């Protein structure tokens, strides 16, 4: 078993005792850091950065050089899996991700391949191996994937969407076609995350960014069912230790109990969730991750500290809390404010672990 100098994050996910609440930030390696922007410029574009193991490793480690974070997260993108299926991912300036081929018919979906994680996605595994080596056991490495539903929204819509009209039309008019796509994606994600674990990821998170766009019954049918399938298919112990699984549905606060029922180790909460109520609802079944509104990082340091204090008090004493933002850090946040946030979590949380 490889030794970790700081395993606070993994312990918290497994609801084991810690000395202080661990903290990391979604998108912690990203555009708010000037050093990230410099490395991205060196790479030429976003996907070139993802595909270069050394540069992906560099940007993964950049926030850890600045801040005493309790975990590193693989630098990659949720759309690597659909890209590896041959859909032609590209990025429009100011428009976000786009696909050349849309999954808008049963014929297209039937022909989609299941990508080989050590083939078309080997660049991700190379990045995981490189990052794990360069971390030298300082903190654990988080691997991740998009959820089948969230990946499908981009593949059917052709990019980002405000109303999800195309995929909802498919869901309600041709559900069998969408289930075919979601099933292929679930199979692909199981292979992808298990390969990340074998390459060195010590925990994995599934990002269901758009699950909250669905009604309760549709969420269970088109999103949660497939995340449950993935949880069932994942390697849960590797290299002599448990590999925790985190499920995060943005806008999913009303379904915490059902998410916990999948058998995951932790449920990510966005900022609309009351952590005290969440803890009462899920009991000791899972750890909770979250959940400060990323926009609080625009506030002065004392206000950031106040909000951290409030959320820690809301969760209260005991184990099973990983502090995080309720979604990704915004690109225009002052890096000093991110530092104030991380320091506040560590300083103010000790009292809850005595």
Kindly state the average pLDDT of the residues 330-352: 98
Task: Report CA-CA distances (Å) from 234 to 27, 205, 227, 263.
Answer: 24, 11, 11, 11
Catalytic residue among 154, 192, 219, 226: 154
For residue range 260-286, list pLDDT tens digits in order.
999 999 999 999 999 999 999 999 999
Residue 221 has pLDDT above 90, yes or no: yes
Check the annotation: does 154 bind a ligand: yes
Contact 345, 21 (CB under 8 A): yes
Catalytic residue among 37, 40, 220, 285: 40
Question: Tokens in use for 139?
Answer: 């903190």
Kindly state the average pLDDT of the residues 220-235: 98
Average pLDDT, the chain: 96
281 classed as catalytic: no
Check the annotation: does 285 bind a ligand: no
Catalytic residue among 8, 11, 15, 27: 27
The pLDDT of residue 92 is 76
Q: Which residue has the tokens 């759309």?
A: 79
Task: Report CA-CA distances (Å) from 42 to 11, 30, 49, 55, 114.
Answer: 37, 14, 8, 9, 32
For residue range 106-129, list pLDDT tens digits in order.
999 999 999 999 999 999 999 999
pTM over cut 0.75: yes
Kindly state the average pLDDT of the residues 334-343: 98
For residue range 28-78, list pLDDT tens digits in order.
999 999 999 999 999 999 999 999 999 999 999 999 999 999 999 999 999
Check the annotation: does 27 bind a ligand: yes
Check the annotation: does 30 bind a ligand: yes
259, containing H or E segment:
helix 256-260
27 classed as catalytic: yes
Q: Please give the domain boundaries of the chain with CATH numbers for all domains.
A: 8-353 (3.20.20.210)
31 classed as catalytic: yes
40 classed as catalytic: yes
Check the annotation: does 330 bind a ligand: no
98 classed as catalytic: no
The pLDDT of residue 2 is 61
The pLDDT of residue 1 is 47
Give the torsion sign (CA, 8, 12, 15, 17).
positive
Q: Helices (H), strands (E): how many in the chain?
A: 16, 11
Least-confidence region, from 32-36, 91-95, 146-150, 158-162: 91-95
């Amino acid at each position: 078993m490889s030794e970790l100098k700081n395993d606070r994050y993994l312990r918290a996910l497994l609801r084991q005792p810690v000395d202080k609440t661990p903290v990391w930030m979604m998108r912690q390696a990203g555009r708010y850091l000037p050093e990230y922007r410099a490395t991205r410029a060196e790479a030429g574009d976003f996907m070139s950065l993802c595909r270069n193991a050394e540069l992906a490793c560099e940007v993964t480690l950049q926030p850890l050089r600045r801040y005493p974070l309790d975990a590193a997260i693989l630098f990659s993108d949720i759309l690597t899996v659909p890209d590896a299926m041959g859909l032609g991912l590209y990025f429009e300036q100011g428009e976000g991700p786009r696909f050349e081929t849309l999954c808008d018919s049963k014929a297209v979906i039937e022909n989609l391949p299941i990508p080989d994680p050590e083939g078309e996605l080997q660049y991700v595994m190379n990045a995981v191996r490189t990052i794990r080596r360069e971390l030298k056991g300082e903190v654990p490495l988080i691997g991740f994937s998009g959820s089948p539903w969230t990946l499908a929204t981009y593949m059917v819509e052709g990019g980002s969407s405000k109303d999800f009209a195309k995929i909802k039309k498919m869901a309600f008019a041709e559900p069998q076609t969408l289930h075919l796509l979601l099933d292929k994606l679930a199979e692909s994600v199981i292979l992808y995350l298990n390969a990340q674990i074998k390459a060195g990821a010590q925990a994995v998170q599934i990002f269901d960014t758009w699950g909250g766009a669905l009604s309760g019954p549709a969420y269970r049918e088109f999103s949660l069912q497939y995340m449950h399938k993935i949880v069932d298919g994942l390697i849960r112990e590797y290299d002599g230790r448990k590999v925790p699984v985190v499920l995060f549905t943005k806008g999913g606060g009303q379904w915490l109990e059902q998410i916990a029922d999948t058998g995951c180790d932790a449920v990510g909460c966005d900022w609309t969730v009351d952590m005290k109520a969440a803890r009462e609802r899920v009991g000791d079944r899972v750890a909770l991750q979250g959940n400060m509104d990323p926009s609080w990082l625009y506030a002065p340091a004392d206000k950031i500290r106040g909000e951290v204090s409030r959320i820690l008090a809301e969760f209260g004493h005991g184990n099973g809390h990983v502090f995080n933002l309720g979604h990704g850090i915004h690109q225009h946040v002052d890096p000093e404010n991110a530092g104030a946030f991380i320091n506040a979590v560590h300083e103010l949380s000790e009292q809850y672990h005595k």
